[in-house]
Amino acid sequence: MYTINVRGIHIYAYHGCLPEEAIIGGEYVVNVILKADIAKAASDDILRETIDYVDVYKIVKKEMSIRANLIEHVAKRIADNLKNSFFTISGLSVEVIKKTPPIGGEVDEVSVVVEL
């Protein structure tokens, strides 16, 4: 079993329950951990036999562009899309981090992790 990590995907998006979040948006960071049997790719050195990081990024970018009230919902959409896109995935973790959330106090970030 192998682990592929795609960390620090920076996206500007418009998620949140407050009306102004839909207008001004905010900074988000997404971290993806994928467990998969990619031994053949490791041996053969052939891209099509593994999970292409570019495709992972495209899925994250697409799902982050669809507005939601909750980052929980966005993280679940990303996880579901990844699981459905790559048959070799046996487990995954998606963390969506909202930088400087508007919660009335000084907080660097909040995050949600979905594991499938």
Which residues, at least 6 apart from 27, have a Cβ–Cβ distance to it below 8 Å? 10, 11, 12, 98, 99, 100
Cα 40 from Cα 20, distance rounded (Å): 48
The region that residue 61 occupies, defined by phi over 0 for left and psi between -120 and 50 for alpha, beta otherwise, is alpha
Q: Among all residues, which ones are annotated catalytic?
A: 98
